[in-house]
Amino acid sequence: MYKKKLRGMYISKKVLKHHFDPCKAPRDAYLLCKLQWGETGTPWIHWVKNERYHAEVYFLEKIFKMRRSYNYVNCSITWYLSWSPCADCCRKILNFLKKNSNVNIDIYVARLYYIEDEKIRQGLQNLVSLAEVTIAVMETEDYTFCLKNFIQGGADDDSWTVGFQSEITKNRLKLKDVFEDLPFIES
């Protein structure tokens, strides 16, 4: 029997190109992750697709617990999301970080999920107000990193991002508008 793959180490080039294209609006959300324990730990990569859970929640509640280090070493998580987190995911990420003070998360998004919704804006603001979180729009070099690190055997096709820059710029300006009134936090 065929079973849909919802998570793993590598993603197909076709899925990456379709779901992370900021000019498109696919229904599914994907999360690509690089997780590293301590300064010298070997980075671990993984991807998750939303199905019964939102991808962020699935990662925090299932994957992170499975990969957890119990010696309380600092943990750096970098997420590349096809959509920015919804209000509920923002709340769950915030609660997770309050319980796991040794974790920091850098979030890069391909596109913004209902960014005009006040609850989502507030959720993103609450996340960014923590020193442990950064949120930014994916830039061309982030797409290149994902292509080289989340595709088995890597890939060198930089041409797939041609035409992304205008959407990247629009999304960056929208996200800047969300965070405009927040106080500056030194990290």
**Residue 69: which region, alpha, beta or left (left: phi > 0; alpha: psi -120 to 50)?**
beta
Residues 179, 105: Cα–Cα separation, whole Å:
17
Residues 178, 182: Cα–Cα separation, whole Å:
9
Residue 115 φ/ψ, nearest 5 degrees: -65, -15
Q: Give the Cα-Cα-Cα angle 25, 30, 36 (nearest 5 degrees).
A: 145
Residues 12, 30: Cα–Cα separation, whole Å:
12
Annotated catalytic residues are 56
Q: For residue 107, what pLDDT is reported?
A: 98
Residues 94, 22: Cα–Cα separation, whole Å:
26
- pLDDT tens for the 187 residues of the chain, in order: 334 555 567 888 889 999 999 999 999 999 999 998 888 778 888 899 987 889 999 899 888 876 666 566 888 999 999 999 999 999 999 999 998 888 999 999 999 999 999 999 999 999 999 888 999 999 999 999 999 899 876 666 667 788 899 999 999 999 999 998 666 544 4
Q: For residue 154, what pLDDT is reported?
A: 62
